[in-house]
Structure 1
């Protein structure tokens, strides 16, 4: 979205908001640095809002038409996030195929390295089976693992897809999948690992740093979300989660994803800010 204008925090914008809604001009108002910021869908709408504000909002306005609500699960919303939905569908189908991580004969087709003649995972990457570089992100071990990662990918993935488009989210998902999988394999080459969590930490880091450099309404995550994810990362690294019987944690994947996400968010945010 585009920053149309900003004004003092104590200024009443209800008249402007009512006027814009009556004319179907999509906008949102946020608070940044002690000031109100009005956002629009594109630059053309931003110019319109700025002109109306500077010239004064007309007194006589037409009766407002009922606004169509765009909820996270409405058909209109779902049509705008096809990549997010595709990843979730593929993840669900893989969960069914692998029995949520209980069918070794199915899992072995998606591990980072193939099965060696010795019966153990191969020590080296087989680039002839290139899909293995990304396929572990679709493996999940248990319903809680699947539900947690699925919900977070829906929350973070759709934000990026709505703001930057499907191809951008696809590129980020592949990038963070590669970096998180590689990081975990380097640390534990003989262990079967999987899950979307490495990608999730990448998306989290991307939104977090991008928002610091080029604020927008889509990446404005509640501070509690960032804190929760970082605390969970710290607990995983400490070993407390495993000791509590909640399963092994792919800490290297989480850290690798978070670092690559922060770097990507820093680059993209800096470029956007420089425009």
Structure 2
């Protein structure tokens, strides 16, 4: 929940008694000093209103201990709609991805896929022929730089990528906002698609995995430089994803018959994500 400034008072104002009262009442809070003021922060506007009302009645606190702490509220579990409202951009990207999965029949509708692939193509017999990429760009088909991230081949491919985008995307949206998440998503898609094209040449590839490695790298490095709760990933997640990347690079997954892996997209996404995390984390650290 976003911190809200409940009180802004001169630094010479003694808040010790009121802070003691908040501690006794179990009110979550923190105090910071900004531009000659002491600011009392609480999680949420509703609680901020209550704290202001309490301060108006008891600015010196409650030295006699006459006030009793209210019973702890029953914890409420956010519903699906609440979670979607808290992360609208994350939800929108996933909605578009699901719609594309339906239109492309999870990789079976090549008529639809050819409009979203990095290069236009046509199928003749058992062979697929790709048009030169410069030809597509020259025709104004600029969306091909980004659209492969929306293509998924199979339900498992879609489910795993969607779950990880939901987990990582809403963290970035909560910490840095929806516009930043959108910009990072498009940037990671662009870089991972270009690297994959340079890595493998003309080929049919798609999925959010390049973007996911970018989001992972962004959160990972940002958290190293400017620690914050949103980017605190569960222990082992980064290590697991890096191990998975190495396994895919080894060719083992392809050799076992699980299909081709877009290793170039994964590597490109991770590198650009670490770069944005380095820049964003350094700026956040500088701002304090």
**TM range, smaller chain:** 0.7 to 0.9
More off after superposition, 260-269 vs 90-99: 90-99
What is residue 199 of structure 2 aligned with on the other side? 187
User: Are 2:176 and 1:164 equivalent residues in the alignment?
Assistant: yes
Contact kept? 1:242, 1:248, Cα under 8 Å: yes
Larger radius of gyration: 2
What is residue 91 of structure 2 aligned with on the other side? 85
What is residue 36 of structure 1 aligned with on the other side? none
What is residue 124 of structure 1 aligned with on the other side? 133
**Number of aligned pairs?**
240
User: Are 2:246 and 1:246 equivalent residues in the alignment?
Assistant: no
User: Are 2:104 and 1:95 equivalent residues in the alignment?
Assistant: no
CA distance in structure 2 between the aligned counterparts of 1:68 and 1:108, rounded to whole angstroms: 49
The equivalences for 1:55-94 within 5 A come to: 60-64=67-71, 66=73, 69-71=76-78, 73-94=79-100
RMSD of equivalent CA atoms: 2.9
CA distance in structure 2 between the aligned counterparts of 1:74 and 1:217, rounded to whole angstroms: 22
CA distance in structure 2 between the aligned counterparts of 1:229 and 1:56, rounded to whole angstroms: 50
Structure 1 residue runs of 5 or longer lacking an equivalent are: 5-12, 28-38
Contact kept? 2:25, 2:69, Cα under 8 Å: no
Runs of 4+ in 1 over 4 A off after TM superposition: 39-42, 55-59, 116-119
CA distance in structure 1 between the aligned counterparts of 2:145 and 2:108, rounded to whole angstroms: 21
Going from structure 1 to structure 2, the CA distance change for 1:40 and 1:237 (only over 3 Å counts) comes to farther
What is residue 166 of structure 2 aligned with on the other side? 154
Alpha-carbon shift at residue 64 of structure 1 (Å): 3.6
Contact kept? 2:225, 2:285, Cα under 8 Å: yes
User: Are 2:155 and 1:139 equivalent residues in the alignment?
Assistant: no
What is residue 16 of structure 1 aligned with on the other side? 23
What is residue 10 of structure 1 aligned with on the other side? none
Q: Give me the TM-score of the superposition, normalised by structure 2.
A: 0.75
CA distance in structure 1 between the aligned counterparts of 2:100 and 2:215, rounded to whole angstroms: 22
What is residue 119 of structure 2 aligned with on the other side? 113
Going from structure 1 to structure 2, the CA distance change for 1:117 and 1:129 (only over 3 Å counts) comes to farther
Going from structure 1 to structure 2, the CA distance change for 1:122 and 1:162 (only over 3 Å counts) comes to same
Going from structure 1 to structure 2, the CA distance change for 1:64 and 1:238 (only over 3 Å counts) comes to same
Going from structure 1 to structure 2, the CA distance change for 1:17 and 1:262 (only over 3 Å counts) comes to farther
User: Are 2:240 and 1:228 equivalent residues in the alignment?
Assistant: yes
CA distance in structure 1 between the aligned counterparts of 2:188 and 2:176, rounded to whole angstroms: 16
User: Are 2:186 and 1:174 equivalent residues in the alignment?
Assistant: yes
More off after superposition, 132-141 vs 183-192: 183-192
